[in-house]
Each structure stands twice: as structure tokens, then as C-alpha cells.
Chains A and B, each alone.
Chain A
Amino acid sequence: MPELSIERALIVTEVYKEYQGKVSVPVLRALTFKALMEKKAVYIGERELIVGERGERPKRTPTYPELCCHTLQDFQVINDREKTFFRVSPEARKAQAETVIPYWEERSMRHRLFSQMTPIWKDCYEAGIFTEFMEQRAPGHTVLDGKVYEKGFLDFKDDIQRAIRSLDFTGDPRAYEKREELKAMDICCDAIITYAERHACLARKMASECDDPVRRQELLKIAQVSSHVPAHPPRTFWEALQMYWYVHIGVITELNTWDSFNPGRLDQHLYPFYKRELEEGTLTREDAKELLECFWVKFNNQPAPPKVGITLAESGTYTDFANINTGGLRPDGSCGVNDVSYLVLEVIDEMRLLQPSSNIQLSAKSPDYFLRKACEIVRKGWGQPSIFNADVVVQEMLLAGKSVVDARSGGTSGCVETGAFGKESYILTGYLNLPKILEITLHNGVDPRTGKEIGKKTGPPSSWVSFEDLMRAYEEQLSHFIDVKIRGNNVIEKLYAENMPCPFLSTVVSDCIENGTDYNAGGARYHTRYIQGVGIASVTDSLSALKELVFERRLLTADSLVEVLGRNFEGAEALRQTAVSRCPKYGNDDDAADDIMRMVFDAFYRLVDGRKSSTGGTYHIDMLPTTCHVYFGSVTGATPDGRLAGEPFSEGISPVQGRDKFGPTAVLKSASKMDHVRTGGTLMNQKFSPKVLEGEEGLRALMNLVRGYFKLGGHHIQFNVVDAVTLRDAQEHPEKYRDLIVRVAGYSDYFCDLSRALQDEIIARTEHKSI
């Protein structure tokens, strides 16, 4: 049962009380990390081979008061809520009240950040125009590359010393800041080595007390491995996994980063160890699999830290979005599938865990057999793995200015986000509510829910003579809200750069050491900031209905339509039905609707892409919702597509639930009219009745659907293979379906852990059958 751990909060508070104001901020953060690595409990579970936990033991999750200082009421809610709860002990509450809150209440990033935001930003945030990723979690979103399999932290220390020696205190005005950052990194390297040594000590102690000779050997082996990594580069498959895992614990303990870190191209990183050891006879395929399974469990033991407020509403899950990439391309452009890729597929199939999430990167060069093996798992119906178009992912990165080698070594993480692994900070900054902006447009800048004027005065609907006038007004509002969002982002980015550096993470992300600059201050080789568009299909269908009903068939004026929306279609069911059934809809390979989708997409792209951030990053767009389409729907009134007030919006780039009538290929055709290469990721969900995918014929159809979509330039596709009857039964009898896993957005979750609204939304998605 997930529990809240107060250990980290107390250690962090102690360090800050002692050092704040006495040392530079990066060094303060490094001393905090050092204290955590030296003092936090170490734990080795029964039968474990890979060791290290974020809390005192599995499923114990710490808090990060320097980011978000929970109130006692927050603790109560976290403890009591029915879904994604964490049990909070009386001791934890007492410590929070007496020690943590008095120190952090006004020092937490959450507090500082909100106090810096302008009234218009706050109004937009509260209206549900956008969300803010950094209000209670740190910028994260990077994935490791291969460097920790080639270098140990003693080697990183050498690199750091070299960088310090080459600082130019006469010519470089930032030399002092750089030295402080590098000093901080150096402290962190020692700290992670100490953390591993503590595990080695514990393992030796446990071995000496262990009666079981097999386990005693394992414990001694754990001790041996932890005495070698992470100080030195790994020599074996086991050491490689443990090396990564120490880095993982370091990153997620240092700060509560979004979109949890993961090893990225694990199969490619492990393959050289695997191959050599198999040849030398020191490892069998079964050994490798057991180690991988131990490794998988480690991810699953770390629930995402407890969230509060809007972030909880839009991302209520234990899942922390670690998403391991399999397959893809090698840096030289050849096919990346190897035997470890197949091992990974076997592991995910046997383990069936929520975390880590897994995906395959499918290139035109990937063998069909690889796709087949993945599809065999997909059709078992628990939502994994998702499938990415490796060739388009590479193109996206090339377009964003990355080198071809860095692009091929990258992939996708979180839900569907593209990044150059180990070399890029690619920060999701917040979701943007595209349909809500249409609602504001229809109300001449006013949010009908709050009554506040948060948009531009683009004119009343009666002033629009043509559909083009409406589109112009919409684009103007879109531009306004994106500006509000980016202005806020620029402040938040600076707050993090100055107050919350992450010297440990910076050590393992190129080129922070060479630049002497923190990951959060723009030190990485590539620096991307994403804004994620939500509800593209809902806004498309709404604009399409407006075009059809108001400007073409002229059934009513825009003003009267707005009035009907205001009373949630009450007394206008016939009109609502007409909007639902008789207007062109996205998802049917119908250009009448799909062209509108393209207009919205192009405007969104044009208004965001290429803009510069305050620490030198570049903005790009993503099209993914996590579960935000449900939250965004809940704050938006009825929409012209016939959707009632409060209902969820469309998910990812999937059609509005139930509005696609011509089967999966027509949906994919519509979706492919978006230029995926210009995004940093799009999310396509399809739901199939299990019967369709039965047999060889069904499997081949699934494979061909994926390959066909990717030929059309699609970025990603994932499947739910479960029928509505099963899902409804699970709502009625959750006790029978505790292990039912479904695909939500870019991740899977236990169906019974989802909010009712989200459960209903998944049931409402079109279930493709065949005749």
C-alpha cells in the first residue's frame, strides 16, 4: 500500500536551515543531495538483485517541500481519497506541522511561483485555459543515453575537474557561476558513490546473517556490484542495470522531476554486455531475463509523488511515465533491434506492470517479426507496448536542429514526447485547452464560467460575416493565450534556473559539464520547451458545426447558437442532434472537417514554434493530453459539436469519442493530414473489440494498420483491445477487475484507479469492429 515518507522532507529542511545563505545555490542543492544520499534509509528486499529505493522501502514516496509544501489538509486528502491515495502516518503529520511547514510554507517553489504570476495568468490558469507543469514538480523530462555504461562517476569527476581548470576568470563573466555549478556536480558524484557503498555494506551485513546459501551468494554479489558501480563504468549486464538504477534513484531523489527519467534505449545499451557475457559463458538468456524482471519491479515500486490541486485533477495516477524504448535505429542508422529487444518484449508480457511503460520504436527498417511480437502483446489488451514511428521521430528532431546521430540515439518518453536522450532538456510546460479558447472567442473574450474577461475583445459573434471572420477571431484569442502562457513560463523558467538547479541530473546530461551550466539553466546540448495542445478534434468538430449550421446552412445565427450553448442545449435537442449527426466530423477521412483541423493545427504551430525561452530554449508543440482532456472538458460549457457542458474533450489526436463512422483506416487518414513532423509528438489511441484481432488475419491487420499509418507519417499509435461490456462490468464490480489495465493516454493505468469521468470517456471511445 502506497505510503507517504517524511524522511526526505526532514533531511532537506535540516540542510537548508544549516546552509542557506552560506553557500551558493548550486552548492546548497548539492549539499542537500549529499545529505540525502548519506542519510536516507537503505533497503534491500527479499530476493532482490537490483537495489535502491526512493523511500525507506518500496511504495514509500517522499515529498519535496522545496517544490510543494503540503498543508495538513493536503495530507488528509492524500490519505483519505479513494483513488491514488497515500497513507500518511501521525508522525509524518506531526513532523510536517512542526518542522516542514514552518520553514517551507513561503519558500516552496509553488508558493514563490504563484506569487510571481500576474493576475491575467492566474485568471487563465483558474479558468482552465492552460495548466502549469512546474507548479509542484520540477522540470524534468529527459532520458538517459549510453554515457553511464561507458563512464563511472569517478570519470565524471575527472571531466568536472577538467572543466573547472579550463574556466577563464578574466574573460568569462560567468566563470564564478560555472565554478559553483561544477563544484556542486562534483559533490553529487561523491554522494551517489557513497549511496551505493552504503548498499554494499548492508548487503555484506545481510549476507553474514543469511542462512540460505543461494541468497547469501546473491547478497555478496549485490555488495560486489555496488562497490564497483556507479564509481566505475559497468563491466557486466548486472552492473549495467544497477548503474542505471543508482542514477535513476539519484535523479528522482534530487528533485521531483516530471515524466520520470528512464534508461531510454535500454536494449541497445545492454546488448554489448549481453552479447559478450553470453559468449564468455558468464550469463545465460534466462539470467538476463531475471535481472531485467528485477529491474522492471524497481520502477513499479516508485509511485509518482502525491499531487495536489489542478495537477492532481489532470494527472491523477501513480504512474510516473517512465517509458522504455525498444528497437528503433542505431546511431549509424542501421536497424536497432537485437536479442535484448525481444527479451524486453518477453519481460513486459510476463510482468504486466504499470511501470515502466514500454514502447517499440518501429522503423521501416525494423523486421516484421519485431512488430509481430509487439502486436501479439498489444492484442492481449492491457495497453502495452505503444508503437512509435522511429523514422518520423528522427525527422522531427532533425527539423528541430539536432544532429542525425543525436536524433537516432533519441526517441520518445513520457507519453509521446520526442527528445534527444541524454542531451536535451525537453520540458513540457503545460496543456493548452484549444476548445475552451473557442468558447472564449464566442463570448468576445469573456469566460462564461467565471464571468471574467480573460481574452481579447475580438468582437461579438454577430459581427462575423463569414467563417473566415470566426477563424480570424479564434486565432487572435489563441495568440493572446499563448502569449500569457509563455510570459508566465519565462518567469518560472528563471525561478528554477536561479533557485532550483539539479547538479546531479546535470552531471549525466550532455553538455552541462562542458558548459558549466545546470540542466535547469539551459546547460544541456538541446533545450526545448513544449506546449501541448488538447482537444484538437473537439475544436475541429465545433468549428465544423459552426461553419455548417451558421455560415452555410444558416439554420441559426452565431448569437443564437451561443445562447443555446449557454443553456446547455436545453430545449434544443433537435439542434444538438443535428450538430452531432449532420455536420462533417474529424476522423472520417472527410476533408470538409479535416481541413479545419489543419487550420487550427497550423495556427497553433505558427504561434508557438521557434519562440525563444528565457534561458535560451526553443518552443515546439505537442499534441497530447495525458488525462487533461477530462479536466479541460469539466471547465468548459457546451460546445457547438453537440457536446454537453462538462463532458470530456477528445483525447490526443483521436476523433471525438464515437464520432468516427468509417473504421480505423479512415481515422488514421484524417490524423495523417496533420503534419506530425512539425510536432514533438502526437498521440493516437484506437480501441478494438478483441474479436477483430483474433487469429493470424487479425494480427496481420493490426500490423498492417500500424505500418500503413506510419507510411502516412503518423508519429505514434496505441491500442486498447477490450470491449465496452467488460469495461462497464468493471465499473459495476471493481473487485473483480483490480488487475484490468487500460491505455489512458500515453500511459496505461489500472481501470479501477481512474476517475469515473475518465472511465466513461474510455468506454465512449469508438470500438472498431469488422464485418
Chain B
Amino acid sequence: MSQLEPFALGVIDALTALLMMAVDLLPEHLAAPFEYRFMQRALLTSVLVGAICGLLSCYVVLKRWSLLGDAISHAVLPGVAIAYLLGWPFFIGAFVTGALTSLGIGAIERHTRIKSDAAMGLMFTAAFALGIVIISKIATSTHLLHILFGNVLGVKTSALVLTLLASVVTLLAIWLAYRPLLLYTFDPQQAQALGFNTGLIHYGLILLLTLTIVASLETVGIILVVAMLITPGATAHLLTDRFTSMLAISVAVGVTSAVVGLVLSVSLDVASGGAIVLVASGLFLVALLAAPKHGLVARHWRRWRLNRAQA
């Protein structure tokens, strides 16, 4: 890990330099805030988080895992609190409780008569409550607010290194396991029949989801991260009938909302997490209305033409 650090810092500097070349193309008053180091860090974090959330959100949307994403993100809170108590890096605790909760949900589902939505609701509220109780004992309310709602302007270098690492792992995993993941998402029974280890794929995908959530904590916070895991994928699903295009569009939506939301939050002086999610929701609304094939306008237009042709 410690040998990795200088390497990761070098990569971060290189990526920041690349981003700044793009920022230099912006008009003066928009580009000005990015002269500050903390703004550059916030920008890079937003781009990375937008990208990996965009990728994962395609699987979340197609697999109907929205509630699971919500559950894992809430379950991360006690991990953050316990790590804080023990003086560990927050992401280790977050990852452990997030992963444990998803395992617990699976166990309840399989071994009792409780249905999956109840199992999820039960597990994540319990974990979240535990987190609230611990934090209320040990930390200030500002600290709690930052965990719950994110604070991208205060991202530390260590958190940025984690986000970078999570992005690399997610990208590699989706590239190397592209086909098994696609087949498992589309038709798990077929994946089983072709001899794929569906249990491994299932839990691998859940671990990727947990990793992405942990990496996004500082940017959008526990409460809103699930929006970044649903909205980009849902927007892309309205715009295309190809899985690869869906991945690309979803990443574009994720990155655009993260960056535009960051800029808006600075210029309007509002919470960054909320601004990012509102931009994403706005993009979804545009797609919902105006998507060429699956949008509401196009659907009504087709129905109207059909009715007129029959009349």
C-alpha cells in the first residue's frame, strides 16, 4: 500500500493536469475556481465517481437492484463510525459493514420465509440505526452531516486515492468479466446452464457495488449515492437498445451531472451532493420526455399517428 501511494499520487497529478486542459477551454468566470487545489481534487473525484457510478448503475437498473443499492449505502454508516472509533481509515469499516449486510440479506432471504424487500429494509435500517447511535455518541453533528450528505470540496488526498483505486478495480472487473456479467444480468438461468459460477458473479457484482458506494461517500454522501446508482442507468435505458451504448451513455450522464453539479454548488453556494443529484434527475427528465424511441413525447406521437391512420 505504501509503495502504491507515490504511484497513485503521480496518476492523480497526471489526471488532474488532463482535466485542467479541459477546464482551460471554459469561459473565464467558470474556470477561475479551479485554480484552487481543493477544487481540482473535487473535480477529479467527481469525474471518477460519476464514471464508476454510471457503469454500475446499468447493472443496478437492469437487475432491479435499486433497493439493494440503497440498503448497502445505508449499511455503510456503522462501518464509518466504528472505523472512526478504532482510528482506521473510514473506507475499510464502510466496506466491511456494507458487504456483511448484503450477505445478511442473502442469508435471510434464503433460509427464512421473509421476502427480499422486507429482508433488505430490515437489515439496512438496523445497520443505519446502529451507525447513528455510535456517531451521536462520538462525533459532532457537522461530521455526521458530511457523512450523510457528502462534502466533495473537503475531499482529502487519501480519499481521492481510494476513489482512484476503486475506479481502476471497477473498470478492470467490468472489462475482464464483461460477458459473464452481461449474461448473468440478462439471463441468469442461461449463465448457469453454460457452466458459469453464478454465485461468484452474484457476489462479485455486490462487492463492486459496495466498493463504488464507499468510493462515492465523500462526494454525494450515504443518502444520495443511490441516486447516482439509479438515475444514470435509467436515463441511458430510455435512450438506447444496445448494452454497450447504455454503458457509455450512463457514464456520460454520471460524469456530466457530477461535474455540472460541482460547478453549480460552488457558484450558487449550495450542498454539492444535492446539486449533483438534481442535475442527474434533470437529465433523466429530459430523456423521459424527449428520448427518440422510448420517450413520452415519441410514444404519444406514435399513438396519435396510429389513431389517425385507423380513423
Q: Do A and B come from one complex?
A: no
A interface with B by C-beta (< 8 Å): none
